[in-house]
Structure 1
Amino acid sequence: MDSRLHIIAGYKQGSSYVKDLYVSPPFRVVSVGQRKSDNKLYQIVMSTSPGILSGDRYQLDIALEKGAALQLQSQSYQRLFNMKNDAVQQLTISMEDDTSFAYVPHPVVPHENSNFKSKAEIRIGTNSQVIISEIITCGRKHSGELFKLKRFQNLTEIYHKNKLVVKDNVLIQPDLIPVNSIGNLEEFTHQGTLIFYSTKENVDKNILVDTIYSIIESQDEMEIGISAMEDNGFVIRTLGHGGEVMYNFFLRVQEILWELE
């Protein structure tokens, strides 16, 4: 199935709003029920499909006009079903100046023989910031499906002024790279990545890293590392044995970063 989602977040009289929205099955986009007083836009991406199937092609195009702030949320865990061929998702995010975008979705659950590639291309404006994450699980652990997927790849690229400033490539292909090998996932069953990049001059990545470390020190359920970029941003890597604790940690980090002005 070829499916498309298109959102334009506008900004008018101090508030962000949905300027344009188009979806085709199985997508749905609705406003988050809770009300916030920050005048930012909160939308949840829903699906009428139980998961991604062989041959699916998802195209998600998101644009933020000058001044807009958009936070996307997911409905539930994303299942990748048994596939004869493959499935592909393309996420394109265009951000004008003075914008903020965040997307911290639920974990991905790859079933046996799933083959999925996702690519996110983000073009960020001046005085703007982006928060984006992904969590990959081992599959249906309680059904004995520990990394029986064919292939999973998530490629993220961030551009500023047409220059590539961030590139992150997560590839899990058990028949090519043993998942439990040293330097890979070893004994862990879940891996998470959160990327933060800012072009705001008043944002200090070092202070933010110290703040996040204070959260890390209070938990012992995951292995967590932070790599600061040369520019104003950082990447958080997590390894653990459960998706929910990892997802909740990323939500806490998102809350800290989302409040930045």
Structure 2
Amino acid sequence: MVQTSSGGVVQGDRHDITITVNEDAIATVTTGSATNVFSMECNYGASERSLSVQNGGHLAFVPAPTILHSNARYCETSTLTLERNATAVIGEIVVPGRLARGERFDFDRYLNRLRVHGPNGLLFEDTTDLQPNTESRDPTAAGVLGEFDTYGTLYIVSPNCDAGLSDQIYERITDGPARAGATALPNEAGIVVRALANRTNAVTKTLRTAWDVVRKEMLGVSAPDRGVW
């Protein structure tokens, strides 16, 4: 459980998280509560994550949702390095403000970048860049988030995983509470699941369902019942 002594991220904050999973070890890492990114008058907040999984290890990094308050500017950069036969599940859920207070897409910018490296080099890179006040990156535009509020992604990083796993996940999530889909990652790196909804718990439930399918396939056990999502 990753915890912080502050109530959230404020302007000028720089957080560094380093997680190493040793050979044949299994780790599930989450946060104690949602990450609140507070309103900012200048500068920005940032989090840099360095994740590595050694031979035969498995990491599930599934933090609670990130809530972007009005005028927030937040940058998350994650680097995942996998050795031979290593696997990982990385989850992200983004809430565009304190919705009960009418803060829908009142933040300034949210930038999230994930780079994943395998034994032979870069497997893929995925970037989310949302700027509500910039027309070219408007999250409410058609083809981005549209009418939906909450956005979630689950990366199942398992080079050369069973091609049918994506279909199994899709069958479980397609009739769920969120609009969701699953597709293969580049370079046979695994599967990515994306979910959209107007309620955080709908996205959380959908990604958790996908994670449960993956965990049973990879580890032979269900997703944890408590403490995570």
Structure-1-length-normalised TM-score: 0.78
- Identity value in percent: 26
Structure 1 unpaired stretches of 5+: 1-43
Shift in Å, 1:77 = 1.3
Q: Give the deviation of 1:225 after TM superposition.
A: 1.4
Give 1:180's match in structure 2, choosing from 136, 140, 149: 140
Tell me, in whole angstroms, the C-alpha distance in 2 between the residues paired with 1:217 and 1:119. Answer: 29
**Residue 241 (1) aligns with residue 198 (2):** yes
8 Å Cα contact 1:102/1:254 also seen in 2: no
Q: Deviations over 1:49-80 (max 9, x none)?
A: 21111111100111122111111022111110
* Partner of residue 222 from structure 1, selected from 173, 178, 183: 178
List per-residue Cα deviations over 1:124-144 (Å, max 9, x = no partner).
011111100111112111111
Output the CA distance in 1 between the equivalents of 2:50 and 2:123.
16
- Answer yes or no: is the 8 Å Cα contact 1:98–1:127 preserved in 2: yes
Structure 1 CA distance, aligned partners of 2:189 and 2:113?
20
Match for residue 125 of structure 1? 83
- Match status 1:189 vs 2:149: yes
Distance between the aligned counterparts of 1:70 and 1:178, measured in 2? 36
Q: How far did residue 249 of structure 1 move?
A: 2.2
* 1:171 matches 2:171: no
SS of residue in 1 equivalent to 2:39: coil
Given that 1:131 and 1:197 are in contact with CA atoms closer than 8 Å, whether structure 2 keeps it comes out as yes
1:203-222 → structure 2 map (5 Å cutoff): 203-204=161-162, 206-219=163-176, 221-222=177-178
Q: Determine whether 1:82 maps to 2:82.
A: no
Q: Which has the higher helix share?
A: 2
Deviations 1:102-159 (A, max 9, x none): 1112111100111010000011011111100111112111111111101101100000
**CA displacement at 1:253 relative to structure 2:** 2.1
Higher strand share: 1
Deviation, 1:255, is 2.6
Unaligned runs of 5+ in 2: 220-229
In the alignment, is the contact (CA less than 8 A) between 1:104 and 1:250 conserved in 2? no
Q: Which runs of 4+ in 1 moved over 3 A?
A: none
Larger Rg, first or second structure (1 or 2):
1
| Matched pairs, number | 214
Equivalent of 1:64, from 5, 21, 36? 21
- Which residue of structure 1 aligns with residue 226 of structure 2? none
Cα distance in 1, alignment partners of residues 127 and 189 from structure 2:
20
